[in-house]
Chains A and B, each alone.
Chain A
Amino acid sequence: MAFGPHLLLATLEGLVTAAVLALTALGLSLVFGVMRIVNVAHGEFFMLGAVLAWAVATALGTHPAIGFVAALIVAPLVVGAVALLSERLVLRRLNYDPEATIVATIGLLYIIQQLALSLYGPEARPVTPPFSYRVLLPWFGYSGYKLSIIAASALLLVATWLVLTRTRIGLVMRATQYDREMAQAFAIPVERVYAGVFALGAMLAAFAAVLIVPISQAHYLMGQDPLLLSFIVVIIGGLGSLRGTVVAALLIGLSDGIVSMFFSPTLAKLIATLVVAMVLVFRPQGLFGTAAR
């Protein structure tokens, strides 16, 4: 294949990675931005989404498209409910203390992971894609499903942006993010906002996982990479910044796709690590984040 088509293929692969990463990292970023909590269990919400997608699709056993759509609805809702329960039983009791919640979410990570191992097992299991249409480009055919992942992620990112900037719910979330005490002084039930944001963050991760599981596989240890990559994205983009999250996810996704294809996946990881190190040294608040007040 000539260089041009090769680059196009690498870019498309990178965009798929970026799309899923942006959704997952946005969940982590929202939780930190509003609640000031570093949710170490975020990758497990991603894993839970994928495992539930397999469970729903398998239980229905109908046409793959029906199973997939059902998974796309059920898995984020169930994961959101698990997150709500975790928020109520663990984080609220710790009064959202930033240090204590890091330890608590590490515990949550192990509980969810071990529950998945016990109930789901150690096997990696595939979910059939909802359709297998191939888009024929002049140089190669490309998975229509992968293109739909990019489109679905972009839609959800735009929807999240609209909710945050154009609705009362978004206004309440932003007020809580900027000044928790003043938010309370204006009748905002901060604990309810926290619960909602924690659930929303987990649901975004679960949604991303359902999208990716037909081209990946559901496995009880699959949450580790998304967690690490999400941290990389939010460090580069700036915690709490939607724009930063999207830009950083594109940067990491595209460099992963292109560098991996032309050089090696290891070099792609090295570059990502180097970018994180440089951001931490020269702009610790991230490219689009604001300095701590």
Chain B
Amino acid sequence: MAELLTINGLDCFYGEVQVLHGLDLVLNKGEVLCLLGRNGAGKTTTLKAIMGLVPAAAGSISLEGRELSTLAAHEVPKAGVAYVPQGRRLFAEMTVAENIEIGLMARGKGQATREAVLDLFPRLRERLRQRSGTLSGGEQQMLAMARALCLEPQVLLLDEPTEGLMPSMIEKIRETVAKLRGLGVSTILVEQRVEAVLAVADRVAFVENGRNRETMTAEALRADPAAVKRYVGVG
């Protein structure tokens, strides 16, 4: 598969503390790549660095040859990268429709995109005038994904999308990620739950102490459950 997003030797800091130490990562076109690792390993920081929300002190992040790390944070989504953060971070005081409008405005998308996204999450269509902060956890997660998909991104960054959700909603999220892969959207998924990762991932990268220790296919991981224990501490 062709490389879409390539990270080479990425260093990132929070103040004086170095969080990423020369991280390397490749996302291929049309694949779902999962990042697994302990808390504090650098998974969320990796996603934030791709979005330009944490500056890269060294290294490069390129999307089909276009360097992202030198762009201002607000230019990255225009390049075709969308982000669904941990905890959703909706604009809680705004309505569902306004949150979707923010997503559409990011890359100048219109009514057709809006309808396509609402077809993916029909429950949101019934709640367009509702304040997003009053939605259930599952609906909020749907809205966070819908808002991101309004960009029609090439790359979707999902940070723990199943956190705190009911099993039926987790299944819905998994189905959506699989459906998006079918539509050609490449996804980097940060997840803690190994079974959820194995259900949807093409490849898995183990992040430890700000470095990519090992990348393997989902099949290889199924055959080597000890890998999970090695890097994540459970198995």
A binding-site residues for B, Cβ under 8 Å:
168, 171-172, 174-175, 178-179, 181-190, 290
Contacts and interface: CB of A to CB of B under 8 A. Distances in A.
Given A171-B98, A171-B102, A187-B105, A178 B91 contact: yes
Interface in B97-115: 98, 101-103, 105-107
Give the 9 A-B residue pairs with the shortest CB-CB distance, closest first: A187-B106, A184-B73, A187-B77, A186-B106, A178-B91, A185-B83, A189-B74, A184-B74, A182-B89
Contacts of B101: 168, 171
Given A181-B53, A183-B74, A184-B73, 15 more contacts: A171-B94, A171-B105, A172-B105, A174-B91, A174-B93, A175-B94, A178-B93, A178-B94, A181-B89, A186-B77, A186-B106, A187-B77, A187-B78, A187-B106, A290-B93
Contact of B75 (A172, A178, A181, A187): A187
B94 A184 contact: no
Contacts of B102: 171, 175, 186, 188
Nearest to B99: A175
A175 B106 contact: no
B85 A185 contact: yes
Interface string B19-61: 0000000000000000000000000000000011100000000
A185 B93 contact: no
A187 B53 CA distance: 12
B30 to A, nearest CB: 23
B93 A182 contact: no
B203 interface: no
A182 B91 contact: yes
A185 B51 contact: yes
Which of A168, A171, A290 has the most chain B CB atoms closer than 10 A to its own CB?
Answer: A171
Given A184-B74, A186-B103, A187-B78, A179 B89 contact: yes
Nearest to B150: A186
A229 to B, nearest CB: 27
Contact of A185 (B77, B94, B98): B77
Contacts of A172: 105
A183 B53 CA distance: 11
Contacts of B52: 184
Q: How large is the interface on B (under 10, 10 to 19, 20 to 34, 35 or more residues)?
A: 20 to 34
Interface string B74-94: 111110000101000101111
B211 interface: no
A179 B85 CA distance: 12
Nearest to A193: B74
B56 to A, nearest CB: 15
A184 B89 CA distance: 13
Contacts of A189: 72, 74
Interface string B110-134: 0000000000000000000000000
Contacts of A185: 51, 53, 73, 76-77, 83, 85
Contacts of A179: 89, 91
Candidate in A181, A183, A186 with the most chain B CB atoms within 10 angstroms: A186
Contacts of A171: 94, 98, 101-102, 105
A130 to B, nearest CB: 40
A168 B151 CA distance: 17
A241 to B, nearest CB: 11
Nearest to A190: B74
B92 A178 contact: yes
A174 B99 CA distance: 11
Contacts of A186: 77, 102-103, 105-106, 147, 151
A172 to B, nearest CB: 8
A171 B106 CA distance: 12
Contacts of B93: 174, 178, 290
Nearest to B147: A186
Interface-central residue, A182, A184, A187, A190, by most chain B CB under 10 Å: A187
Most buried by A among B52, B76, B105: B105
A182 B87 CA distance: 12
Given A189-B74, A190-B74, A184 B53 contact: yes
A182 B94 CA distance: 14
A186 B157 CA distance: 13
A186 B85 CA distance: 12
Contacts of A183: 74
A181 B55 CA distance: 13
Contacts of B76: 185
15 contacts: A168-B101, A171-B102, A174-B91, A174-B94, A175-B91, A178-B94, A184-B52, A184-B73, A185-B53, A185-B77, A186-B77, A186-B106, A188-B74, A188-B102, A188-B106
